[in-house]
Structure 1
Amino acid sequence: MCIALTFASCNKTEPANIEPEATTTQTEETLKPSETQKISIVGMKFTPNVIEAKSGDTLIFTNNDIVAHNVTQLPGKKWASPLLQPGESWTFVPTQSDSLFCSIHPTMKGYINLQ
């Protein structure tokens, strides 16, 4: 009888330990929030001139130059910022990869790479 009791206690099952951290980490990686990226317009350039963005990211273009600029989709001009005076900003949420330029200074070019 003693052997049977010892054997029965060895087979006793305990509830499994569930690690909630593993589920939380996976969820955080899957549901990353959109980001805000700042693009400076200075020295007759977009900095950075290649913008790596994800769907839902917000881009803020700020004119830190001494003259007015704009941000315009190239080549079809499907979207464009208003004229940005020095110190002004424009916020944009891209929906696709696009080339861009300043229509006032066409040598100023950039690219939004939407991943």
Structure 2
Amino acid sequence: MDPFAPALDALFHGPGSEAADYVTESGVQEGVRVIRSRPTADAPFGDSRIRQDTCMIDVRRSEVPAPAAGDRFLIREIDPAAQAEVLTVCIVTGDPALDVERMTWTCEAPEA
């Protein structure tokens, strides 16, 4: 057993983590746990750079062995003001990257 696995499980079930459905381009759907972040990144724009908001999703490799561009994360949340469920769809763009221990994928996945 990997010594990092229990700590990773605690992280993905702790505050800041969310339940989501992972859907491949071929339509296979599976329940996963994710951690979303929204860092600001610099993007090239002609001869200059602009700052833009991004959406990054971390997911365990044990749950998603090989994410690919075009795959989707479906995240259901409760809107406290409307007391209704809201579905957020995040589509994987680019090439997901593994962490140093090769246990977690980081996917750029902006909201659709």
* Structure 2 length-normalised TM: 0.27
- Which structure has the larger Rg over C-alpha atoms? 1
* Higher helix residue share: 1
